[in-house]
């Protein structure tokens, strides 16, 4: 054997293979806790022995243990609190029900009013069984229209609610018995409107201080040979001592319509001095083949309701200016 030379750094051989895996570091075993008594294994009916009961030691590892804390959904808790405060049902449905309750109520109320209005329009007799409160009802203004026709009542309601913001407007049927079916001239129209109002008051159908509006259409010969249809709007408020009137725009009437209405009026017609027995609407509906309430729109392009609405807004503005400042 050759003698050992001087010490020199050892050269490690190069290798392309994987590095050797180091041996695992032995873990330190924790000795079990001392026990004062040893419980022997108990035999079971099958002959096998059960291990003795004692404290179980968790294995020691080098990785920390992650503790998982259960989380609570905030939306579930919010729904639970709302539902418990309301109906006592701990579910998120209670929170949804409480949130949309006011919106649902408004939608349902509007749908009910729309349905009631449609029913009473198709069958006016249902007004005795259904109480219809249109939108924007209420406020300090409460009016009665001396008619049950929607073209009049709806137009007056729309106009007064536009001027006052809120107004309660209802309609009651009323007739003028001392004026012809087709009033002719301003005087006949004014007499018919006043009679409609007085009919409601004398019959006790409205309060003595109740403001009442009358709408009366009539024809007039403004210039020789030129006839026009127009409407009178009259409001009577005894409580505030207010009496106002205004008129709608005029609708030209073909001369042959007036001639036919005059010819169809009997000579012994008791109300002949105030007008004709046949209305211009009846004559126009036969000639134009339209409903008697639509002949104005066919002739001049403007519906009658629009004419009444515009005139009613003028009347409402004049009426508001006469009221005390508290209104």
Query: Percentage of the chain with pLDDT > 90?
Result: 54
Domain assignment of residue 134, yes or no: no
Domain residues for 100? 77-113
Place of tokens 């109320």: 109
Residue 168, beta-bridge partner list: 142
pLDDT at site 96: 52
pLDDT at site 88: 46
pLDDT at site 1: 45
Query: Residue 75's pLDDT band (boundaries 50, 70, 90)?
Result: very low
pLDDT at site 325: 77
Query: Which position has the higher pLDDT, 45 or 312?
Result: 312
Closest to 163 measured CA to CA, from 298, 5, 319: 319
pLDDT at site 103: 52
CB proximity list for 181: less than 8 A, separation 6 or greater: 271, 275, 276, 277, 278, 279
The least confident of 72-76, 138-142, 244-248, 299-303 is 72-76
Domain assignment of residue 20, yes or no: no
Domain assignment of residue 236, yes or no: yes
Q: What gap in Å lies between CA 217 and CA 74, rounded to an integer?
A: 67
Please tell me what DSSP assigns to residue 25.
P
For residues 212 and 143, the answer to whether their CB atoms sit within 8 Å is: yes
Whether 90 and 204 map to the same domain: the answer is: no
Whether 108 and 184 map to the same domain: the answer is: no
Whether 89 and 211 map to the same domain: the answer is: no
pLDDT digits (tens, 9 = 90+) for 257-290: 999 999 999 999 999 999 999 999 999 999 999 9
Above 70 in pLDDT, residue 313? yes
Domain assignment of residue 309, yes or no: yes
Taking CA atoms, 194 is separated from 74, 188, 228, 233, in Å, by 68, 10, 22, 10
Whether 181 and 316 map to the same domain: the answer is: yes
Query: Percentage of the chain with pLDDT > 70?
Result: 57
Domain assignment of residue 281, yes or no: yes
Whether 102 and 232 map to the same domain: the answer is: no
Alpha helices in 184-294 (DSSP H): 186-202, 255-263, 280-288
pLDDT at site 85: 43
Whether 206 and 99 map to the same domain: the answer is: no
Whether 108 and 196 map to the same domain: the answer is: no
Q: How many CA atoms lie within 13 A of 75 on its CB side?
A: 3
E strand or H helix at 167, and its extent? none
Please tell me what DSSP assigns to residue 72.
-
Give me Rg for the CA atoms of the chain: 47
* Domain end marker among 91, 113, 135: 113
Whether 100 and 222 map to the same domain: the answer is: no
Read off the pLDDT of each residue in 134-142 and give the average, rounded to a whole number: 72
Q: List the CATH number of the domain containing 294.
A: 3.90.950.10
Above 50 in pLDDT, residue 2? no
Whether 277 and 205 map to the same domain: the answer is: yes
pLDDT at site 36: 47
Domain assignment of residue 211, yes or no: yes
Read off the pLDDT of each residue in 223-237 and give the average, rounded to a whole number: 96
Query: Residue 6's pLDDT band (boundaries 50, 70, 90)?
Result: very low
Domain assignment of residue 241, yes or no: yes
Q: What gap in Å lies between CA 293 and CA 270, rounded to an integer?
A: 26
Closest to 316 measured CA to CA, from 194, 226, 213, 199: 213
Mean pLDDT score across all residues of the chain = 76
Whether 101 and 204 map to the same domain: the answer is: no
Structural domain total, the chain: 2
Number of H helices, E strands in the chain: 8, 10
The least confident of 35-39, 79-83, 135-139, 217-221 is 79-83
E strand or H helix at 143, and its extent? strand 142-145
Whether 182 and 106 map to the same domain: the answer is: no
Domain assignment of residue 34, yes or no: no
Read off the pLDDT of each residue in 163-184 and give the average, rounded to a whole number: 94
Query: Residue 122's pLDDT band (boundaries 50, 70, 90)?
Result: low
Query: Which position has the higher pLDDT, 9 or 301?
Result: 301
Residue 253 class from Cβ within 10 Å (0-12 exposed, 13-18 middle, 19+ buried)?
A: buried
CB proximity list for 121: less than 8 A, separation 6 or greater: 150
Whether 100 and 227 map to the same domain: the answer is: no
Residue 299 class from Cβ within 10 Å (0-12 exposed, 13-18 middle, 19+ buried)?
A: middle
pLDDT at site 201: 94
């Amino acid at each position: 054997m050759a003698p050992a030379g001087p010490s020199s750094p050892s050269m490690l051989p190069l290798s392309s293979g994987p590095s050797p895996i180091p041996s695992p570091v032995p873990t330190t075993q924790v000795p079990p806790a001392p026990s004062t008594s040893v419980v022997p294994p108990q035999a079971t009916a099958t002959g096998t022995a059960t291990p003795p009961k004692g404290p179980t030691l968790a294995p020691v590892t080098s990785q920390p243990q992650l503790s998982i804390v259960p989380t609570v959904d905030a939306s579930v808790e919010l729904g639970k609190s709302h539902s418990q405060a309301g109906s006592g049902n701990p579910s998120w449905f209670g929170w949804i029900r409480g949130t949309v309750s006011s919106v649902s109520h408004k939608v349902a109320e509007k749908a009910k009013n729309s349905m009631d209005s449609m029913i009473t329009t198709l069958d006016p007799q249902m007004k005795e069984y259904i109480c219809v409160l249109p939108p924007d009802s209420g406020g300090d203004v409460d009016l009665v229209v001396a008619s049950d026709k929607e073209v009049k009542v709806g137009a007056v309601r729309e106009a007064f609610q536009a001027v006052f913001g809120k107004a309660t407007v209802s309609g009651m049927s009323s007739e003028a018995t001392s004026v012809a079916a087709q009033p002719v001239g301003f005087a006949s129209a004014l007499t018919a409107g006043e009679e409609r109002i007085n009919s409601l008051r004398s019959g006790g159908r409205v309060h003595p201080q109740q403001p009442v509006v009358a709408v009366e259409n009539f024809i007039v010969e403004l210039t020789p040979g030129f006839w026009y249809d127009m409407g009178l709007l009259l409001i009577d408020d005894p409580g505030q001592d207010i009496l106002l009137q205004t008129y709608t725009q005029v609708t030209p009437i073909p001369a042959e319509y007036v001639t036919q209405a005059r010819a169809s009026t009997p000579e012994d017609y008791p109300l002949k001095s105030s007008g004709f027995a046949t209305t211009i609407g009846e004559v126009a509906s036969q000639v134009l083949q339209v409903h008697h309430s639509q002949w104005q729109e066919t002739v001049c392009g403007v519906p009658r309701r629009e004419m009444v609405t515009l005139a009613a807004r003028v009347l409402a503005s004049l009426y508001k200016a006469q009221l005390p400042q508290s209104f």
